[in-house]
Structure 1
Amino acid sequence: MTSHHATPSGKTRARALKLPFPGEPGENNAITDVAGVEVGVTTLITGEGKLVVGQGPVRTGVTAILPRGHHGVQIPCAAASYSLNGNGEMTGTIWIEESGELQTPITITNTNSCGIARDATSQWLFRKAGYVQDWGLPVAAETFDGDLNDINGFHVKAEHVIQALDSARGGPVEQGSVGGGTGMICYDFKGGNGTASRVVKVAGRSYTVGALVQSNFGTRRECTILGVPVGQHLSGRELRGKPAGSIIVIIATDAPLEAHQLKRLARRMPIGLARTGGIGHNSSGDIFLAFSTANEEAFAAPSGQLRRMEAVATGDIDPLFEATIEATEEAIIDSMIANQTMVGRDGNTSVALPHDRLIDIMKKFGRM
């Protein structure tokens, strides 16, 4: 199967089930379809049975995104963030809002490991050959995996963050229970990492928009796929059973956008979330970040020189809004479909979204 239909490890993606998503995906239907963007993961899965804090079971990890890949670590990107509901954390966003720039890699992990991810990213940057900046405000985001993981055992260490950063590559991206998404739950199905992309025309030029999500939110009855209330027809075996959890969405694009335009993209990500049934519960951290890899030469220019940059006209931005919404929606759904049932701490079991029953429901509603 192609990378549109399966992950690198062979897990089935949503398009292999012939779900009729709108829009044109990129080569890998992944955030890495935006040239230069690289993704790496460290996945930690050990132990089983009764929770013993500090020993396990462990179901967690780290996801790393390098906006310009290893070659461009020192080169900022135009960026903006947005919070739909703020019961969560994404470090570094105050400076992004102030400067309009993303100047570091992005890491995503569990709630109690957000600090170590931030600090280890600083260590990685300062040790990286040729990196000359003597300070930084890394972006580290989190969602809560304590239903399956020994979250108070603090099993993510600096070396795991550095491993994820070092392993970042372009091309197809593994999904489901990997990296920071390892212990996450989405609509009371097994959730985690998901990714998707769209290729659109803007003012006669072709641009790519890619999304990567760490999905850990929603109640079963809310789960909606392409307008079909799937969760209402797949009740049973809910582990969390309450409106809790969070989602992090990262949008990358090669379209030349200024920071205020990227803020507008970030504000469209909740529409993709809503298409899957999400409403931004009080206890949920629904936090979004968008960046553009365009204008690299201008961002690489040293201080003291004027920057000359391209930008999409305000009136031409609608295709990028649509691409953001569609990629976010599909990435969330793929985070459940490209996944497997997981047993975690105390025998807690998060069931995978059943493909056969999903197809039956979609056919019943005339969506396939």
Structure 2
Amino acid sequence: MRARQLGITLGLGTPGELNAITDVPGVRVGHSTLKTRVDGKQVRTGVTLIQPRAGEARHQPCFAGYHVLNGNGDATGLEWISEAGLLTTPMAITNTHSIGIVRDTLIALERERLADPAVYWCMPVVMETYDGLLNDIWGQHVQPEHVRQALDQAETGPVQEGAVGGGTGMICHEFKGGIGTASRRLSAEQGGWTVGVLVQANHGKRQELRVDGYPVGRHLMDIPSPFAERGTPGMGSIVVIIATDAPLLPHQCKRLAQRASIGIGRTGGGTEDSSGDLFLAFATGNHDLPPADYGRKDLPLSTPLRMVNNDHISPLFSAAAEAVEEAIINAILAGEDMSTEEGVKVPGLAGESLLQALHRCGWSMSR
């Protein structure tokens, strides 16, 4: 179940129709999930892919910016976004040791779709979190066919959450974590834009977990932790992708990405040295950016642009913070018990258990 199905409303904003990143028009999400055994070892991993627009990203670039809260993580393609402010490829999220093959495969897939590969290059955005407790991460089991599958299955509509795609083997606040999503739609007076979020949540300590401001984690400590005999609570990372159809410029996208920190902080995360907390925001509100087929001779000398006035950007910041907060809780609630033959046992957080913890904190559904 998702947070709102349990009667838990986080923040003051209004979700989009799906309460998902795909509420932003044109955004598509695809997963490839690996749940198997290879040479006697458990494989629980995969790839999640996000496409920013309905067409090829290089033909319809969008402005983007990123922020790093804590850098114990890795990503490809971010330096060019920092320099040029443009997102020209799909984005993918996977496990720490598969980031290279996912990047290389996205390059190969781009080449397949090029009429003249001599005039174009790409640096795909690929991000990661660590799934080594539940997955044979050293086996590097993600292969090119899994990246292709995620790309082929990318679609609009509801987004599957929990132990799917890149989130298959992830742990969040010592519960089963993974993929989560949420959205907020601004009122007409605020611009009517949508902010959608997708997270790969693999971070946080149990005792610090908060829901709607209540310290529920302190009332869930009787549930066994997967870190009781190995690892350290809080080890891991979180990747956040924020999408909006507001007309933001690159520096405004970076400012939007920074607000992911607030949503993570509200749920009790963001304080660990061992966590890679990397956030990317992109904006599709400018529709006529030149294609990123570098070397073309017919590109215009200038391009008319729109931007949200900074005096009216605060509602977008609030929407991003709220959607990140809710996406993390949705990721945890979507998790189910997962274990390995080596003795790792990661519990899912049942909705009823969360509600009981909230009531013990003094929370009321009618609040």
Residue of structure 2 in register with 1:238 after alignment? 225
Counterpart of 1:198 in 2: which secondary structure? strand
Report how far residue 70 of structure 1 moved.
3.9
Residue of structure 1 in register with 2:194 after alignment? 208
C-alpha contact (below 8 Å) 1:191/1:339 kept by paired residues? yes
1:159 aligned onto 2:145: yes
Deviations 1:207-266 (A, max 9, x none): 000000000001111111111111111013111352310000000000000001111111
Residue of structure 1 in register with 2:158 after alignment? 172
Are residues 165 and 131 of structure 1, via their aligned partners in 2, closer, same or farther at CA, if it must alter by over 3 Å? farther
C-alpha contact (below 8 Å) 1:280/1:286 kept by paired residues? no
Identity %: 49
1:366 aligned onto 2:351: no
Q: Report the residue type matching 2:279 in the other structure.
A: F
Deviations 1:28-78 (A, max 9, x none): 10000000000000000013xxxx7x6521000000000013455522110
2-structure distance, mates of 1:266, 1:273: 12
2-structure distance, mates of 1:273, 1:145: 19
Counterpart of 2:76 in 1: which secondary structure? coil
Are residues 253 and 355 of structure 1, via their aligned partners in 2, closer, same or farther at CA, if it must alter by over 3 Å? same
Residue of structure 2 in register with 1:267 after alignment? 258
Match of 1:15 among 4, 7, 12: 4
Residue of structure 2 in register with 1:41 after alignment? 31
Report how far residue 298 of structure 1 moved.
2.9
1:221-300 aligned within 5 A: 221-235=207-221, 236-240=223-227, 241-300=232-291
2-structure distance, mates of 1:345, 1:69: 42
Q: Report the residue type matching 1:238 in the other structure.
A: S
Are residues 202 and 255 of structure 1, via their aligned partners in 2, closer, same or farther at CA, if it must alter by over 3 Å? farther
2-structure distance, mates of 1:278, 1:27: 28
1:27-176 aligned within 5 A: 27-47=17-37, 55-128=40-113, 130=115, 134-176=120-162
Are residues 299 and 226 of structure 1, via their aligned partners in 2, closer, same or farther at CA, if it must alter by over 3 Å? farther
2-structure distance, mates of 1:257, 1:61: 32
Are residues 277 and 309 of structure 1, via their aligned partners in 2, closer, same or farther at CA, if it must alter by over 3 Å? same
Moved over 6 A (4+): none
1-structure distance, mates of 2:58, 2:344: 40
C-alpha contact (below 8 Å) 2:270/2:277 kept by paired residues? no
2-structure distance, mates of 1:293, 1:95: 18
Larger deviation, residues 303-312 vs 27-36: 303-312
Deviations 1:86-136 (A, max 9, x none): 000111100000001111100000000001111111111111265855211
C-alpha contact (below 8 Å) 1:78/1:293 kept by paired residues? yes
Q: Report the residue type matching 1:280 in the other structure.
A: T
Residue of structure 2 in register with 1:24 after alignment? 14
Larger deviation, residues 189-198 vs 222-231: 222-231
1-structure distance, mates of 2:233, 2:10: 29
Report how far residue 354 of structure 1 moved.
2.2
Larger deviation, residues 15-24 vs 189-198: 15-24
1:356 aligned onto 2:352: yes
- Gaps in structure 1 of 5+ consecutive residues: 1-11
Deviations 1:282-324 (A, max 9, x none): 1100000000011122344952331001110011100000000
- Gaps in structure 2 of 5+ consecutive residues: 293-297
Counterpart of 1:41 in 2: which secondary structure? strand
2-structure distance, mates of 1:96, 1:32: 22
Are residues 299 and 207 of structure 1, via their aligned partners in 2, closer, same or farther at CA, if it must alter by over 3 Å? farther
2-structure distance, mates of 1:147, 1:87: 17
Larger deviation, residues 163-172 vs 235-244: 235-244
2-structure distance, mates of 1:113, 1:171: 27
Q: Report the residue type matching 2:34 in the other structure.
A: L
Q: Count how many residue pairs are aligned between Structure 1 and Structure 2.
A: 352
1:318 aligned onto 2:314: yes
Counterpart of 1:42 in 2: which secondary structure? strand
Are residues 313 and 123 of structure 1, via their aligned partners in 2, closer, same or farther at CA, if it must alter by over 3 Å? same
| TM-score normalized with structure 1 length | 0.92
Counterpart of 1:69 in 2: which secondary structure? coil
1-structure distance, mates of 2:314, 2:345: 42
RMSD: 1.7
Residue of structure 1 in register with 2:328 after alignment? 332
Report how far residue 348 of structure 1 moved.
1.3
Report how far residue 162 of structure 1 moved.
1.2
Counterpart of 1:265 in 2: which secondary structure? helix
C-alpha contact (below 8 Å) 1:58/1:344 kept by paired residues? no
